[in-house]
């Protein structure tokens, strides 16, 4: 008899994959880029000039599209272009609060009344759709009598063609709102937050005499981590299949301790898969830039070049989708869960964030003239103030059952939100805080004076991997985001809290700017000094993993929200409602909806894991343990009747029987906890789940993993960590 595990290994050992799927000699990379996108170039070639201009004004400067004729012309050109690419259908793609994307396809075909059909696509169909959306989570926003949700075209994220076997689909990125106009999705609040940020950042630019900038964009480059594991293993692991992570699995003798994986040679099948994923992404206009092995075995990373936050978010969703689908073709499964395997690193998504004007000036670039420096310092201090003022809000954007295994658990970054500036910038901030003129620092001349702000070093200094929020030269890197997350949430909050800081600063500086340059610089000096005094508690350049930091952070009064349930209440706190209300990013109802949805999501995710665990315990692990126990018992009896000393085997049998018994008891307890009836109050249920189900899962896992080390290998049904991580 072979176990599913042995069958999986057998299959992997004997399957041959056709790895040479692409030929970059005939199709050059640069020719591939954007071929499936209704890009600016395509728009220019296909749209009447005034229509093209109006559309570009919307995309680049945020002007509203008011003329319905524009939408009609765009729709018509889009349809022709899509049909030429073999599309038969179009879809409004939206981002419901599940964190995934959703779509419903409509055919272009319309009967013309004479028995034949014509391909049609009107401006109205482009602008608005009405999927039957009653089954998406709304957190109470929609009662069933108002179940309608509408999708609305987002012209700032270009439409594209998704190719699939037997056809292609025109995909139109959209927002998703209720008929009362409330956001049912992740994109709408993100777009609102980008507006807020732009408005406030422009005020600061004006203070510095920049009257040309029309719009400021949040720019984002997400570095995506993931695992690739052979799909034969996944098929024989219900936990990976259902939950995306292993709920059992003993620690292998070799994990990541040799550090031989990071930046190592990429295995051939994996590389082939990556290449095809990337070629697909290129065609879709995703500017993928880097790939490499990550720290854990079978873990990798892909990073694009940054784009505006809206496009970066859409592209990251698409990137995850393309990676999942391409992996299948190579007999692999792309695991995007934050912690697929215990005991080795999990996966995150480093969210690199900055602000840029419509002409491309990066506002977090230190530059090298004092004038630029003053402006840079204002923007940089605004971010510091924002993180210091709203650490719980940032924390909650990265909260999920999956990410609980990383943040604040046995792995970093820690759940304490702090900022790493690097030695040099930290030193400058220290001087700025004191407000006294200083001079030399290793590496360059500095003046922190009333009229001349410091000349800044170009390189912000060293790296610190333990910090959740780090300045890396010309951007901040928010590292606590989980690998499976939509980056919409984290960026919505970042944009809004920075907008609030910029608003605060602009309000103080605008009157001073009117009084002349010297007055302005003096005011900046004083204001920055004051802000830094209040906010410096969030600055930390040391080891974020260390015990001392946890103590120190507590002394500084920094919140340490260790898990999802601890962090959720901030969403409906009074100051949160005020903040998001003021900048029109989320209404109170929208916040309450999210609070409920995230609570429910937590309960559902943990419950699925718990039930999967119980199922595996009963139907896979226990049978293996009992079979082996019978085998050992038989051996003990036979040995004994042969008159040989059996004390060692008897001890083994006893340990096995005792562990199995405990395992059965723990299974029953988890079963009971996981099937406990919910109260109906989402947050109360989340709390109960954390306090009753999660600990029982940990107990059961310990025993299951112990059995894995006791039971005969040939009887063990589940692919082991060693196999899943190292057989490629």
The contact set with ligand ADP (CB under 6 A) reads 219-221, 223, 303-306, 352-354, 362, 472, 474-475
211 secondary structure, DSSP code: -
The residue among 353 and 540 lying less far from ligand ADP, judged by its C-beta, is: 353
Nearest distance, CB of residue 347 and ligand ADP, angstroms: 16
The residue among 252 and 287 lying less far from ligand ADP, judged by its C-beta, is: 287
The residue among 335 and 494 lying less far from ligand ADP, judged by its C-beta, is: 494
The residue among 475 and 701 lying less far from ligand ADP, judged by its C-beta, is: 475
Nearest distance, CB of residue 422 and ligand ADP, angstroms: 12
Q: Which of 288, 352, 353, 313 is nearest to 156 (CA)?
A: 313
Collapsing DSSP states into helix, strand and coil, what is residue 17?
A: coil
Nearest distance, CB of residue 415 and ligand ADP, angstroms: 22
Residues in the chain: 728
Q: Which of 301, 303, 366 is nearest to 334 (CA)?
A: 301
E-strand stretches of 46-159:
87-93, 105-107, 109-111, 117-119, 128-129, 149-153
Report strand pairing: 87-93 vs 167-178.
parallel
The residue among 92 and 475 lying less far from ligand ADP, judged by its C-beta, is: 475
The residue among 354 and 541 lying less far from ligand ADP, judged by its C-beta, is: 354
Nearest distance, CB of residue 332 and ligand ADP, angstroms: 24
Residues 6+ apart with CB under 8 A from 108: 79, 82, 83, 87, 88, 89, 90, 119, 120, 121
Nearest distance, CB of residue 463 and ligand ADP, angstroms: 8
> CA 120, CA 163: separation in Å to the nearest integer?
20
Collapsing DSSP states into helix, strand and coil, what is residue 202?
A: helix
SS3 of 616-631: HHHHHHHHHHHHHHHH
Nearest distance, CB of residue 75 and ligand ADP, angstroms: 33
Cβ distance 665 to 209 under 8 Å? no
The residue among 277 and 720 lying less far from ligand ADP, judged by its C-beta, is: 277
Cβ distance 297 to 256 under 8 Å? yes
> CA 653, CA 625: separation in Å to the nearest integer?
11
> CA 61, CA 42: separation in Å to the nearest integer?
19
The residue among 352 and 483 lying less far from ligand ADP, judged by its C-beta, is: 352
Nearest distance, CB of residue 363 and ligand ADP, angstroms: 9
B/e letters for 555-572, b = 16+ CB within 10 Å, e = fewer, are eeebbebbbbbbbbebbe
Nearest distance, CB of residue 671 and ligand ADP, angstroms: 45
537 secondary structure, DSSP code: G
Nearest distance, CB of residue 474 and ligand ADP, angstroms: 5
The residue among 220 and 386 lying less far from ligand ADP, judged by its C-beta, is: 220
Nearest distance, CB of residue 225 and ligand ADP, angstroms: 13
The residue among 38 and 306 lying less far from ligand ADP, judged by its C-beta, is: 306
C-alpha distance from residue 669 to each of 277, 663, 695, 700 (Å):
44, 10, 11, 9
What is the token pair recorded at 605? 């995710």
Farthest CA pair distance, the chain = 104
Quick one: the chain helix, strand, coil %, rounded to 5? 50, 15, 35
Nearest distance, CB of residue 481 and ligand ADP, angstroms: 13
The residue among 256 and 354 lying less far from ligand ADP, judged by its C-beta, is: 354
Nearest distance, CB of residue 350 and ligand ADP, angstroms: 7
Cross-strand partners of 150: 177
Q: Which helix (H) or strand (E) holds 41?
A: helix 40-46
The residue among 389 and 475 lying less far from ligand ADP, judged by its C-beta, is: 475
Q: Which helix (H) or strand (E) holds 45?
A: helix 40-46
The residue among 282 and 353 lying less far from ligand ADP, judged by its C-beta, is: 353
Put residue 220 in one of left, alpha, beta given phi > 0 → left and psi -120 to 50 → alpha. Answer: beta
Residues 6+ apart with CB under 8 A from 616: 238, 239, 247, 248, 704, 718
Nearest distance, CB of residue 493 and ligand ADP, angstroms: 16
The residue among 304 and 348 lying less far from ligand ADP, judged by its C-beta, is: 304
- Closest-by-Cβ residue to ligand ADP is 221
Cβ distance 311 to 190 under 8 Å? no
Nearest distance, CB of residue 305 and ligand ADP, angstroms: 4
């Amino acid at each position: 008899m072979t176990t599913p595990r042995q069958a999986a290994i057998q299959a992997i050992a004997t399957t041959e994959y056709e790895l040479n799927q692409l030929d970059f000699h005939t199709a050059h990379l640069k020719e591939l880029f954007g071929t499936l996108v209704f890009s600016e170039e395509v728009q220019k070639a296909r749209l009447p000039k005034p229509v093209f201009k109006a559309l570009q004004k919307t995309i680049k400067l945020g002007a509203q599209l008011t003329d319905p004729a524009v939408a009609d012309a765009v729709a018509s050109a889009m349809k022709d272009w899509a049909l030429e690419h073999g599309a038969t259908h179009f879809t409004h793609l939206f981002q419901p609060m599940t964190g995934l994307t959703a779509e419903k396809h409509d055919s272009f075909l319309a009967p013309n009344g004479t028995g034949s059909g014509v391909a049609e696509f009107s401006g109205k169909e482009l602008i608005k759709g009405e999927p039957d959306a009653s089954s998406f989570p709304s957190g109470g926003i929609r009662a069933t009598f108002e179940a309608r949700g509408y999708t609305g075209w987002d012209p700032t994220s270009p439409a594209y063609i998704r190719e699939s076997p037997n056809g292609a689909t025109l995909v139109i990125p959209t927002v998703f709102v209720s008929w009362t106009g409330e956001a049912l999705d992740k994109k709408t609040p993100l777009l609102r937050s980008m507006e807020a940020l732009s408005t406030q950042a422009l005020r600061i630019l004006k203070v510095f005499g920049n009257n040309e900038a029309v719009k400021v964009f949040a720019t984002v480059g997400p570095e995506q981590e993931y695992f690739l594991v052979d799909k034969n293993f996944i098929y024989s692991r219900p936990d990976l299949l259902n939950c995306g992570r292993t709920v059992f699995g003993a620690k292998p003798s070799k994990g990541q301790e040799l550090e031989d994986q990071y930046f190592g040679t990429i295995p051939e099948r994996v590389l082939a898969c990556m290449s095809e994923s990337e070629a697909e992404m290129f065609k879709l206009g995703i500017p993928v830039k880097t790939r490499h092995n990550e720290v854990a075995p079978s873990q990798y990373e892909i990073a694009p070049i940054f784009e505006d936050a809206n496009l970066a978010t859409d592209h990251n969703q698409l990137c995850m989708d393309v990676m999942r689908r391409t992996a299948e073709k190579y007999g692999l499964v792309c695991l995007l869960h934050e912690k697929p395997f215990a005991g080795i690193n999990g996966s995150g998504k480093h969210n690199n964030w900055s602000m840029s004007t419509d002409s491309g000036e990066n506002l977090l670039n230190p530059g090298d003239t004092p004038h630029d420096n003053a402006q840079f310092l204002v923007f940089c201090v605004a971010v510091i103030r924002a993180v210091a003022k709203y650490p719980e809000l940032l924390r909650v954007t990265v909260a999920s059952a999956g990410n609980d295994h990383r943040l604040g658990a046995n792995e970093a970054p820690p759940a304490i939100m702090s900022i790493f500036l690097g030695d040099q910038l930290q030193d400058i901030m220290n001087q700025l805080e004191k407000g006294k003129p200083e001079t030399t620092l290793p590496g360059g001349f500095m003046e922190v004076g009333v009229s001349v702000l410091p000349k800044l070093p170009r390189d912000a200094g060293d790296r610190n991997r333990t910090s959740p929020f780090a300045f890396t030269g010309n951007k901040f890197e928010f590292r606590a985001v989980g690998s499976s997350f939509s980056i919409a949430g984290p960026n919505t909050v970042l944009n809004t809290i920075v907008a609030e800081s910029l608003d605060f600063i602009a309000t103080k500086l605008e009157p001073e700017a009117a009084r002349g340059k010297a007055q302005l610089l003096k005011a900046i000096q004083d204001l920055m000094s004051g802000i830094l005094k209040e906010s410096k508690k969030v600055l930390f350049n040391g080891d974020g993993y260390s015990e001392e930091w946890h103590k120190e952070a507590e002394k500084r009064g920094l919140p340490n929200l260790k898990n999802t349930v601890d962090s959720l209440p901030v969403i409906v706190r009074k100051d949160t409602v005020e903040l998001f209300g003021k900048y029109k990013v989320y209404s109170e109802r929208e916040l309450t909806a999210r609070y409920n949805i995230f609570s429910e999501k937590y309960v559902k995710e943990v419950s699925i894991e718990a039930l999967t665990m119980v199922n595996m315990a009963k139907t896979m692990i226990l049978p293996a343990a009992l079979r082996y126990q019978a085998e050992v018992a038989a051996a003990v009896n036979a040995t004994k009747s042969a008159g040989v000393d059996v004390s060692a085997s008897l001890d083994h049998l006893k340990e096995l029987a005792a562990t199995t018994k405990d395992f059965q008891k723990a299974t029953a307890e988890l079963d009971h906890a996981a099937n406990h009836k919910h109260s109906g109050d989402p947050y109360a249920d989340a709390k109960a789940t954390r306090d009753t189900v999660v600990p029982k899962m940990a107990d059961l896992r310990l025993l299951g993993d112990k059995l894995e080390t006791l039971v005969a290998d040939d009887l063990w049904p589940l692919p082991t960590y060693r196999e899943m991580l190292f057989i490629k």
